[in-house]
Structure 1
């Protein structure tokens, strides 16, 4: 498994959390009881594991590309980095809004709108990386460089813990009824749908 395989595997676990957010929004808007704590914990996952761990690993890939002066195009990396920053801002806003709903200062719909925005952004971002960026990286970075990047991933993960375990914990802590999920922002069906 190379560095790109690791990132793509993490995308699958991030998508599980996005699915939880989608089900929570559908359930809440349908009149079901959804605790704002679910959204606060999801925001914690997004900030700690998506921004703090996964995006840091992608940053190592960006650094490897830049250090070799490879012709990937600054525009592509700038756009992806901008999406990382936007995701971080939305996750912080989701966390604060969830806390405000808990205090009775905001309405649940405020959380739902932010969750939808985050899901759309992250699904589009994942599609761009997997469809355009990662294939280019695989062609441009030699195997030895990919191995060095992968070694840096291990240090990043050691600081945060395994992303997959955190996704598991969130799913287990907030079981939601299975609902037909309409994809916010598109995306492909997930292989763990029956899980």
Structure 2
């Protein structure tokens, strides 16, 4: 498994959390009871494991590419770098929005809208990386350079922990509902989805 395989594998785990966010927004807007704690935990995952670990690994790939004469400020690299910055900003905003919702200062819809923006950004970003950037990397970087990049990945992961295990933990803490909220005799039946440890 080379450096690109590792990044693509991490994309699959990140997408599991993105799916939790997307479905929780739809569930909440449909009248379901979704705890803000879910969004708080998701924001922590996005900041710690997506920005702190995954994007840092991609940064090592960017550096390896630029060292071979392709400036970071041009083309797809510039776009991807900008999306990394925007993703971090949105995740930070989501974390603060969740805290404001918990204090009763913001409406849940504002939290849902922010989560939705992150979901759209991440899906488009992943499509560009896997469709355009990763094939470019494999063409430009020789095997020995890819091996050095992969070694740096191991040090980054050691500092943050396993992204896959963090995605597992979030899914287990907040299992997705099987269906949309059910309405019986004008009132919603109880479908607890507050997550473990949620208020």
What is the TM-score of this pair, normalised by structure 1?
0.89
Deviates most, 164-173 or 71-80: 71-80
For 1:70 and 1:140, the matched residues in 2 are separated by 10
Task: Identify the residue that residue 128 of structure 1 maps to in structure 2.
Answer: 128
- The RMSD of aligned alpha carbons is 1.4
Superposed counterparts of 1:27-66, under 5 Å: 27-66=27-66
Distance 1:72 1:44, change over 3 A: closer
For 2:57 and 2:179, the matched residues in 1 are separated by 33
Task: After TM superposition, give the deviation of residue 176 of structure 1 in Å.
Answer: 2.1
- The CA deviation string for residues 86-144 of structure 1, in whole angstroms up to 9 with x for no partner, is 00000000000011101111111011000110000000000000000000100110000
- The CA deviation string for residues 71-95 of structure 1, in whole angstroms up to 9 with x for no partner, is 8872211110000000000000000
Task: Identify the residue that residue 85 of structure 2 maps to in structure 1.
Answer: 85
Task: Identify the residue that residue 74 of structure 2 maps to in structure 1.
Answer: 74
For 2:40 and 2:135, the matched residues in 1 are separated by 34
For 1:105 and 1:151, the matched residues in 2 are separated by 45
SS at match of 1:117: helix
Structure index of larger Rg: 2
SS at match of 1:69: coil
Task: Identify the residue that residue 25 of structure 1 maps to in structure 2.
Answer: 25
Is the Cα contact below 8 Å between 2:87 and 2:118 reproduced in 1? yes
For 1:145 and 1:94, the matched residues in 2 are separated by 37
4+ long deviations beyond 3 Å:
70-73
Task: Identify the residue that residue 94 of structure 2 maps to in structure 1.
Answer: 94
Distance 1:179 1:79, change over 3 A: farther
For 2:125 and 2:41, the matched residues in 1 are separated by 22
Task: After TM superposition, give the deviation of residue 23 of structure 1 in Å.
Answer: 1.0
Superposed counterparts of 1:129-144, under 5 Å: 129-144=129-144
Distance 1:29 1:66, change over 3 A: same
Distance 1:69 1:179, change over 3 A: farther
For 1:169 and 1:133, the matched residues in 2 are separated by 30
- The CA deviation string for residues 4-57 of structure 1, in whole angstroms up to 9 with x for no partner, is 000000000000000000111011001111111100110000000000000000
Gap regions ≥5 residues in structure 2: 181-199
The count of corresponding residues between Structure 1 and Structure 2 is 180
Gap regions ≥5 residues in structure 1: 181-195
